[in-house]
Amino acid sequence: MCTFAPMKRTLAIVISIIYAFTTYAQSSLVQCEDTCDHVHGIDLSHYQGNVFWQAIGENKKMAYVYLKATEGGDRIDDMFQRNIQMAHEHGLMVGAYHFYRPKTPQELQLANFTKQCLPDEQELLPMIDIETTGGLTTEVFCDSLFLFLELIEKEYRQKPLIYTGANFYDKHLQGKLDDYKIMIAQYTDFEPQLKDGRDITMWQYTGKGHIDGVRGYIDKSRFMGRHRLREIRYRHR
């Protein structure tokens, strides 16, 4: 009986697996910022732990960073103070964001955020992260949300940047954010298009990006079309 044929088939299978894995590994190293001329940035929170800020600061492909500051009425991100200090030390354009909780009193959330998001420390507009209705109907949720956005605008004397997912926007926020710049999260290879056709300022295109200085995954975003970084600059009065 000839044993060479099964051995050849096994060897061919092994080679195919190695080739496929190598090809995938190489392609995974090619990221959006490597293939386009858009302005890119990242966002960070305690989920990334301690990061090596020198490496991030030396990354010429990342023009800005948004840092999670607060959530709801009493949560403060454990890494915010260190992150914002180190980001400034390494010359990055920095903004702070707040994760909105619809059922928490707006005044409590405002107080929580404003204690962390200090105007003198911001280069970018404050950003409000909107991902949940808290179980409220769309109408009640929007009443809650826009009361909070009005308080933020009054406090900082400019409208905040809005972050939300494409599906969440289409379901709850269509036609309601026309006066705001928005960052849309959609983790696909194609650019997001909202059902109401409105303009999108920024696109968070992955939650599984990689960057030197950060262990594990990181969120990455970029500007859409002709939009530029100057559009989200914090206007100091």
C-alpha–C-alpha distance, residues 87 and 129, integer Å: 20
The radius of gyration of the chain from alpha carbons, rounded to an integer in Å, stands at 21
Residue recorded with tokens 């769309």: 138
**pTM confidence score:** 0.86
Closest CA to 221 of 186, 190, 195: 186
Residue 36 has a pLDDT of 80
Neighbours of 59 (CB within 10 A): 16
Q: How confident is the model at residue 5, as a pLDDT?
A: 52
| pLDDT the model gives residue 37 | 78
Compute the distance between CA of residue 229 and CA of residue 222 in angstroms, rounded to an integer: 10
Q: Each residue's pLDDT tens digit in the chain (237 positions)?
A: 444 455 545 544 444 444 333 333 333 455 676 668 788 999 999 999 898 999 999 988 899 999 999 999 999 999 999 999 999 999 999 999 999 999 999 999 999 999 999 999 999 999 999 999 999 999 999 999 999 999 999 999 999 999 999 999 999 999 999 999 999 999 999 999 999 999 999 999 999 999 999 988 999 999 999 999 999 999 997
**Cα dihedral 194, 200, 222, 119 sign:** negative
Whole-number Cα distances in Å, 190 to 193, 204, 222: 9, 12, 13
* pLDDT of the residue at 9: 55
Pick the closest to residue 223 from 41, 49, 34, 56 (CA basis): 41
Contacts of 41 (CB under 8 A, 6+ apart): 62, 63, 64, 65, 66, 93, 220, 221, 222
Residue 88: Cβ-neighbour burial (10 angstroms; 0-12, 13-18, 19+): middle
The residue type of 231 is: E
Q: Residue 39: left if φ>0, alpha if ψ -120 to 50, beta else—which one?
A: beta
Q: Which two tokens stand for residue 187?
A: 């983790």
Beta bridge partners of 75: 71
Residue 23's pLDDT is 35
